[in-house]
Chain A
Amino acid sequence: MKESDWIMKSALDTVRLARHGKRPTTRDYIDALIDDFIELHGDRRFADDPAMVAGIGFLDGTPVTILGQQKGKNVKENIRRNFGMAHPEGYRKALRLMQQAERFGRPVITLIDTPGAYPGIGAEERGQAEAIAVNLYEMSGLRVPIVACVTGEGGSGGALGIAVADRVFMLSNAIYSVISPEGCASILWKDTGRTADAAEALRLTARDLRELRVIDGIIAEPDPGAHEFPAETARRLKKTLRHALRELLEIDPETLLQQRYMKFRTMGVYAGAASPAP
């Protein structure tokens, strides 16, 4: 896709592409990227969450742990997958397998595609907020490289819960936001008809996030998008992941953790000086 096409597209067009029904899902990418993939299930505490898939395999000969939110391909599968909205047990499964990766020295790849963490009664009862908070805390100290890519929707805390990584990438038609444009429009203007305005205001496209220095790179999808060319998109994703992992596997764990800390520590924009001086 040409650079100029990104500029012409409205933010709402990108939101629609990011949610496109034919867009490749996490399992599609895993099947294309990973050899000898074995899916691993369950959080060992409560249940197995079908909205989060995780497992082990090889990325070009390197053993990796890979995980991400899983949307369905049709209504029936989407109901089973809860439209890619994980419960606390999904985040706890992800954490269990990231810690397993740390134990055996495997790097972790996370693929993000979720409207958000599920807002429901059971999710609250079992501590949705705690599950995400603990993932943020543990990922910031995980002693193996973590590479994340937002492949579709990066919906708020539910996305970040598996996205505290050394490198964070986005596909060119993916979005990553603190709130959905619909939610933003209804809070701000009490009018879901203004979703397009909210999508612009939130600065949620890959380009915006690159400009805000929240992500490390954009993986260009072939025009008109990943839904038309899943194999080529997966090939480009694989190239980026391989390159990032090769770089990160050279770094010793202490330096890796210090760099990961500083990566997130320096995010944010404000005025004024620290007091007392550090």
Chain B
Amino acid sequence: MLSKLFVKCPQCNTTHFYSFFKHANYVCSHCGYHFRLDAPTWLKLLCDRGSFQEHDESLKSLDPLGFPKYESKLAQAEQHTGAKEAVMTGVAEIDGCPAALAVMEPNFIMASMGSVVGEKIARLLEYAALNKLPVLMIISSGGARMQEGILSLMQMAKTAAAIRRLHESRMPLVTVLTDPTTGGVTASYAMLGDIIVAEAGALIGFAGPRVIQQTIGQKLPEGFQRAEFLLEHGMLDTVVPRKNLRKTLVSILKIHRQRPYTQRPQYFH
């Protein structure tokens, strides 16, 4: 997607040298636009080199409803993105801190959540609960995957319930909301993070802006549904520019690496 000599910012049209742009963590140096990144790029930005081990990479979507053109859409998405599904899960170390990791694939049918996404997320949460690992999710999504109908809606309940398992083993969920995070994914695991971080400028919401505009028949306010707007309304813990993101996440992981004091009998000795 980004393998060329120059890139143009879709927000301000400034042209950048790719090598400089990459060095700036794929953020436009002119207007601050945070480019959408695919899962392998996120893993490279965050994980200690060679530490990522993928889980459940062989899970594949079927077409349970016989939905028009779903199979060809899946094949096309696979071909275009090189990814097998809209989320990649696994374990990794980040600055030496072990963590379970889920990274959404923004270009795979808009990172929509069908059965496979729900299943991979639920399995990751259960794995982390069992192995006492904190969970870090880099999220972007267009919502539930329409082509799997009611089954994709049910993935919302499934993933939300699996977060309970993680909490029962006293491990944290940290969600990073990137542009765009909407629909059924926002209304399930994205907003259930113990700590919710968002990238600067990311569109985050339940309904998409176009649907809202059609419903209410008036223009939406400036900056509506952007990360900064959600922060102001108390819906996020922090908005972080990409250059500081890894550092912030490492601090969060290190703070949670301490065992809670109730489990440390020798604490005051």
Contact = CB atoms under 8 A, between A and B. Distances in A.
A160 interface: yes
B65 A157 contact: no
B206 A157 contact: yes
B207 A124 contact: yes
A160 B153 contact: yes
Contacts of B126: 278
Interface stretch (B100-108, B114-122, B246-254, B259-267): B114-122
B10 interface: no
Given A119-B211, A177-B150, A265 B161 contact: yes
A118 B126 CA distance: 32
A136 B149 contact: no
B191 A276 contact: no
Interface string B190-212: 11100000000000011100011
A98 to B, nearest CB: 15
Interface string B166-201: 000000000000000001101111111000000000
B123 A184 contact: no
Interface residues of A, number: 57
Interface stretch (B17-25, B31-39, B40-48, B53-61): B53-61
A178 B149 CA distance: 5
B149 A204 contact: yes
B55 A264 contact: no
B118 to A, nearest CB: 6
Contacts of B220: 121
Interface in A150-167: 156-157, 160-161, 164
A202 interface: yes
Contact of A126 (B123, B148, B187, B233): B233
B212 A124 contact: yes
Contact of A201 (B62, B67, B116): B67
A130 B68 contact: no
A205 to B, nearest CB: 10
Contacts of A202: 65, 146, 149-150
A278 B154 CA distance: 22
Interface string A194-206: 0001000111100
B163 to A, nearest CB: 6
B72 to A, nearest CB: 13
Contacts of B187: 117, 128-130, 132-133, 136, 157, 161
Contact of A270 (B61, B67, B164): B61
B191 A268 contact: no
A275 interface: yes
Nearest to A137: B160
B152 interface: yes
Nearest to A116: B207
A61 interface: no
A269 B59 CA distance: 10
B158 A132 contact: no
20 contacts: A119-B211, A120-B216, A121-B221, A124-B207, A124-B224, A127-B234, A129-B190, A130-B191, A133-B160, A134-B192, A136-B161, A156-B153, A179-B146, A212-B151, A214-B151, A268-B118, A269-B64, A270-B61, A275-B55, A278-B126
Given A128-B206, A133-B189, A264-B161, 4 more contacts: A160-B156, A204-B150, A265-B158, A276-B55
Interface of B: 55-62, 64-65, 67-68, 114-116, 118-119, 122-123, 126-127, 144-146, 148-158, 160-164, 183-184, 186-192, 205-207, 211-212, 215-216, 220-221, 224-225, 233-235
